[in-house]
Amino acid sequence: MKRKPAKEYTTEQQLPRLGTSPYLKLMERTASSDTNLNSAHLGLIMLWTGDNILDMVDIDLAAFDITESKLDLLLLLSLHADQELVTPSSIADRLGIRRSSVTALLIWLEKKNLIVREPYAKDGRMTHVRISAEGRTLVNQILPTFWSTCASLVDELNKEEQAVFQKVLVKLNASLEKRLGSGR
């Protein structure tokens, strides 16, 4: 969760915007000799951009009183609604977080009646989790805005730029998911 200060006061004294170049100079001075500076620069901008994108999405979802993590989980349940068994463990595994973290999310979602937890008859230790009708309704309310926010992220890019960007990004993301061992 981050950003979106409503404006506290307008401060008089300010720090100047330095831009990218001081970071690059610092990098030149402090990077190990076997680090490719161009790649590092690119990675840094990617990191900053990722941060900004997360912020944008958070801000938009705030209107629906939900966070990206929770929407993520609801979508996961949506897309696996046909599965006989969806347990907190398997959710944790898929999301790359601990079971206890999933429990916390589920408690919140259940309190709002967005999901249902049902004991699993075939194995008394397990619980089946599914999205509720209310949950589906909420998701359907959120998604049009969510997709339009996603689209707006890359608004500035023209068709051609989008095309090359997409190609490279898909490759990049695949490699990251592989390295993290996580992914959809």
Partner DNA sequence: CTCCTATAGTTAGATTATCTAATTACATTG
Partner DNA sequence: CAATGTAATTAGATAATCTAACTATAGGAG
Q: Which does 106 bind (CB under 5 to 8 A by kind): DNA, a second copy, none?
A: DNA
Least distance between DNA and beta carbon 29 (Å)? 25
Contact stretch for DNA (CB under 7 A) within 26-34, 84-92, 150-158, 166-174: 84-92
Identify which of 111, 116, 108 has the alpha carbon closest to the alpha carbon of residue 136.
116
Residues in 93-122 that interact with DNA by CB under 7 A = 95-108, 117, 120
Q: Are 113 and 134 in contact (CB under 8 A)?
A: yes
The interface mask with DNA, positions 35-74, x = CB under 7 A, is --------------------------------xxxx----
Q: Cα dihedral angle (40, 42, 48, 54), rounded to 10 degrees?
A: -120
Q: Are 107 and 145 in contact (CB under 8 A)?
A: no
Identify which of 121, 113, 3 has the alpha carbon closest to the alpha carbon of residue 53.
3
Q: Are 90 and 139 in contact (CB under 8 A)?
A: no
Least distance between DNA and beta carbon 7 (Å)? 9
Q: Does position 135 bind DNA by CB under 7 A?
A: no
**Contacting residues toward DNA, per CB under 7 A:** 1-6, 8-13, 67-70, 87-90, 95-108, 117, 120, 123-127
